[in-house]
Amino acid sequence: EGELTVEAKVRYSGRPAEAVISQLEGNRVKVSFKDKQRAITKGQSVVFYQGNIVVGGGIIEEIL
């Protein structure tokens, strides 16, 4: 519940970027990156980390 600050990685070869994830209805989350990210597209995976621990992830459905 609430918001969680994480490092999010969109591509396998991408660098993790600071982001905040917020829980939405239907087992979904909203990802808000601190800095603008380039070339994010629907269907890509995103993985959330805190240090070396994977705290979650999913498939990108919508880009706002």
Kindly give the confidence (pLDDT) of every residue in the chain, 64 residues in length, as a single tens digit, with 9 standing for 90 and above.
789 999 999 988 888 999 999 999 988 999 999 999 988 999 999 999 999 999 999 999 999 8
Q: DSSP state, 43?
A: T
Q: What is the pTM of this model?
A: 0.88
Sequence-ordered strand ranges (E) for 1-64: 3-9, 17-24, 28-33, 45-50, 53-59
- Give just the sign of the alpha carbon dihedral 37, 39, 40, 46: negative
pLDDT reported for residue 12: 84
CA distances from 23 to 13, 14, 15, 18, 62 (A): 26, 24, 23, 17, 15
